[in-house]
A and B are shown apart, each in its own frame.
Chain A
């Protein structure tokens, strides 16, 4: 009876146990939370379907597997260690490794399991899949980041907008300033234009009212302006000549002498006289018009010298007539005095001789002056006739020196005459060249103080013979040097020494030399002396120049 009773109790216990096992299994199977039981050494002993689902391992595959095969080793080791030490952990985030090698973020909680004897026999491990949460978190983070980016973009856009606005404002300001500056410039330009207009009008008024004629040629040598005076000179109208070249102006008779003189290239010249027609002599000056170093045209100034020429002609005529009229009685006086002095008219006393000699010298000077005046008149009237023949210039020089030998000795001057062994002859008018050399030598002797030195040097240059007449005389003041070759010029220091000179010698000399195709110039320093140079061409045949 007792045994039966015990057997019945055992049966009931076994049934309870079976029910309990069934209950536990059903509960485990039902649980949506993945759960597993892990042994104390880390082997999976139990797993539920939810665990099977998340891990991809079938329950029978998971059971017996080391737990580190299903989780990231370092992470699960930390979980195991913490569980064994503390008895549990809650919500630790680790990563589960699925069968197909995926990594799933999970939150794990554990609970230590012990036997009745208190020995650790393992722990329960429950998982919570964080994939969706992580995704949601990532999505939220992404959206936050997007929002942040958008915000940043918006801020940047705002900043840019502000910058743009500021930039636009700045540019508007700049434009406004630029506009003002431009307006100012325009005002200035307008003012300048008005000024220029006024200046132009003034200039035009001056040009139009100028007594001289003006012709302006452009860069291409064509007439761009002609003033009323020039129109009057040539008897043309502006529209007839503007745009025409100098050669095209040849069609107008009155222009022809000008064209011949200036040539097609409009040669530069200064105050050259040209006979245009009866009662019209013009003095022509052509000047290049230069701007910033570049020629942009030519200005032709036409000065009417008809009246001056007429006066000059009348003066020359008067001088010529007077000289001629005076020379005859002066010659008579000269020869009469000579006769007295030579004793042809009887004995004269010493005192009478001295007076007569003085009169004779004065008469000589008078004759010389008259000759000079006649020469000048001839030169100016173009009647100074040259008769060139081959001449030995050294001989002419020597002869001239001989004429002044007495004077040189009287003033105790040292005279040096240098010449090469041989010199070619030149074509020259002996009389005129002698006169030129005389004038130069006479000046050198006259204006050199006693004891001084006069030197004549002849040299053959390439195609010419150069004459040099050097003295140690009083020199020509610097400020007077520009007038040396003009008529009746005498330097003040020269007049102090000698009151006898006519001031015509160098004018005549220059004309003679130039008429022979030569050149004349000088170097002088007041108080030290003067050097006159002139050249005569060797081969050139001198022809009548006037």
Chain B
């Protein structure tokens, strides 16, 4: 059970090395605006200020890099302010793929699913993060499943839920299926060496 977000905890999170593109803050803000409106976003910003890490979401530069710790604080603050559960966090990840600049601009949606999966998957990760490595392990179009490994990425358990939604959203752009599911089959927070995600459609 991760500790409750406090100033101290936030300070500790900020010590995690690595950066992330500003686009993730943008997608967070968009989701809050969609779900809770301007008031909701204001509450989040106020809470962040209380933590001593004020974020003005609208001022965030989409393609600039920001500390990964700040992103974790942003997610945890949103979760805290609105008492979001894991499902809601997963939904935030799914929503991000719809509006995020990176899947929209930087993925080449060629005919070959395999090419997108194996070549562009790692790139997308790299477009976002300076930490961690996304490895496409297996793609079985016939049986309709894929396996992704995420290595060197042990930031915070909240990301596990978020990424399930995010990967599902990305796959929706690549396969025609009414329902895509993502299951985290391995997790560093459960003692595994890496995270493993099984996607089915």
Q: Which residues of A contact B (CB under 8 A)?
A: 14-15, 17-18, 21-22, 39-43, 45-46, 59-60, 63-64, 66, 115, 119-122
User: CA separation between A46 and B55, bound complex, in Å?
Assistant: 28
Asked if residues B105 and A21 are in contact (CB atoms below 8 Å), the reply is yes
Give 9 new A-B contacts, CB below 8 A, not counting A59-B99, A60-B99, A64-B98.
A17-B63, A18-B61, A21-B62, A40-B109, A41-B109, A42-B176, A66-B176, A115-B108, A121-B110
Chain B residue with Cβ nearest A67: B176
Which 9 residue pairs across A and B have the least CB separation, nearest first?
A: A64-B172, A39-B109, A60-B98, A14-B63, A63-B98, A66-B176, A119-B110, A115-B108, A40-B111
Asked if residues B63 and A121 are in contact (CB atoms below 8 Å), the reply is no
Query: What would be 27 A-B contacts, judged by CB atoms less than 8 Å apart?
Result: A15-B61, A18-B61, A18-B62, A18-B63, A18-B64, A21-B63, A21-B101, A22-B62, A39-B174, A40-B111, A41-B113, A41-B176, A43-B174, A43-B176, A45-B173, A46-B104, A59-B98, A60-B98, A63-B173, A64-B97, A64-B98, A64-B172, A66-B176, A115-B110, A120-B110, A121-B108, A121-B109
Which residues in B have their C-beta under 8 angstroms from that of A45? 104, 109, 173
Shortest CB-to-CB span from A244 to chain B, Å, is 120
The yes or no answer to B95 lying at the interface (CB within 8 A) is: yes
Given contacts A21-B101, A60-B95, contact A43 B108 (CB under 8 A): no
Which residue of B64, B105, B173 is within 8 Å of A43 (Cβ)?
Answer: B173
Shortest CB-to-CB span from A88 to chain B, Å, is 18
Asked if residues A39 and B63 are in contact (CB atoms below 8 Å), the reply is no
Chain B residue with Cβ nearest A64: B172
The yes or no answer to B169 lying at the interface (CB within 8 A) is: yes
Shortest CB-to-CB span from A52 to chain B, Å, is 12
User: CA separation between A63 and B113, bound complex, in Å?
Assistant: 17
Which residues in A have their C-beta under 8 angstroms from that of B169? 64
User: CA separation between A361 and B122, bound complex, in Å?
Assistant: 184
Which residues in B have their C-beta under 8 angstroms from that of A119? 108, 110-111
Which residues in B have their C-beta under 8 angstroms from that of A21? 62-63, 101, 105
User: CA separation between A115 and B110, bound complex, in Å?
Assistant: 8
Chain B residue with Cβ nearest A37: B104
User: CA separation between A15 and B108, bound complex, in Å?
Assistant: 22
Chain B 94-145 residues near chain A, CB threshold 8 A:
95, 97-99, 101, 104-105, 108-111, 113
User: CA separation between A15 and B61, bound complex, in Å?
Assistant: 8
Which residues in B have their C-beta under 8 angstroms from that of A46? 104
Shortest CB-to-CB span from A57 to chain B, Å, is 12
Chain B residue with Cβ nearest A59: B98
Asked if residues A120 and B111 are in contact (CB atoms below 8 Å), the reply is yes
Chain A residue with Cβ nearest B21: A14
Shortest CB-to-CB span from A466 to chain B, Å, is 130
Shortest CB-to-CB span from A325 to chain B, Å, is 162
User: CA separation between A137 and B48, bound complex, in Å?
Assistant: 58
Chain B 34-66 residues near chain A, CB threshold 8 A:
61-64
Among B61, B64, B173, B174: residue with most chain A CB under 10 A? B173
Which residues in B have their C-beta under 8 angstroms from that of A66? 176
Chain B residue with Cβ nearest A60: B98
Which residues in B have their C-beta under 8 angstroms from that of A122? 109
Shortest CB-to-CB span from B112 to chain A, Å, is 9
Shortest CB-to-CB span from A58 to chain B, Å, is 9
Chain A residue with Cβ nearest B61: A18
Asked if residues A14 and B105 are in contact (CB atoms below 8 Å), the reply is no
Asked if residues B174 and A40 are in contact (CB atoms below 8 Å), the reply is no
User: CA separation between A46 and B109, bound complex, in Å?
Assistant: 12
User: CA separation between A45 and B107, bound complex, in Å?
Assistant: 10
Which residues in A have their C-beta under 8 angstroms from that of B99? 59-60
Shortest CB-to-CB span from A251 to chain B, Å, is 127
Which residue of A15, A17, A40, A43 is within 8 Å of B110 (Cβ)?
Answer: A40
Shortest CB-to-CB span from B163 to chain A, Å, is 17
Chain A residue with Cβ nearest B101: A21
User: CA separation between A43 and B99, bound complex, in Å?
Assistant: 15
Shortest CB-to-CB span from A36 to chain B, Å, is 12
Shortest CB-to-CB span from B130 to chain A, Å, is 14
Which residues in A have their C-beta under 8 angstroms from that of B173? 39, 43, 45, 63-64
Which residues in B have their C-beta under 8 angstroms from that of A64? 97-98, 169, 172-173
User: CA separation between A43 and B116, bound complex, in Å?
Assistant: 14
User: CA separation between A43 and B175, bound complex, in Å?
Assistant: 8
User: CA separation between A438 and B17, bound complex, in Å?
Assistant: 184
Which residues in A have their C-beta under 8 angstroms from that of B98? 59-60, 63-64
Which residues in B have their C-beta under 8 angstroms from that of A115? 108, 110
Shortest CB-to-CB span from A65 to chain B, Å, is 8
Among A17, A22, A43, A66: residue with most chain B CB under 10 A? A43
Asked if residues B111 and A41 are in contact (CB atoms below 8 Å), the reply is yes
User: CA separation between A163 and B97, bound complex, in Å?
Assistant: 77
User: CA separation between A63 and B30, bound complex, in Å?
Assistant: 16
Among B61, B95, B110, B174: residue with most chain A CB under 10 A? B110
Shortest CB-to-CB span from A282 to chain B, Å, is 132
- Interface digits, B54-91 against A, CB 8 Å rule (1 contact, 0 not)? 00000001111000000000000000000000000000
Shortest CB-to-CB span from A6 to chain B, Å, is 15
Among B62, B104, B108, B113: residue with most chain A CB under 10 A? B108
Shortest CB-to-CB span from B2 to chain A, Å, is 28
User: CA separation between A122 and B173, bound complex, in Å?
Assistant: 12
Chain B residue with Cβ nearest A39: B109
User: CA separation between A119 and B110, bound complex, in Å?
Assistant: 7
Which residues in A have their C-beta under 8 angstroms from that of B110? 40, 115, 119-121
Shortest CB-to-CB span from A10 to chain B, Å, is 10
Shortest CB-to-CB span from B110 to chain A, Å, is 5
Shortest CB-to-CB span from A47 to chain B, Å, is 10
Shortest CB-to-CB span from B62 to chain A, Å, is 5
Shortest CB-to-CB span from B96 to chain A, Å, is 10
Shortest CB-to-CB span from A379 to chain B, Å, is 143
Chain B residue with Cβ nearest A42: B176
Among A18, A21, A43, A60: residue with most chain B CB under 10 A? A60
User: CA separation between A526 and B185, bound complex, in Å?
Assistant: 154
User: CA separation between A121 and B62, bound complex, in Å?
Assistant: 24
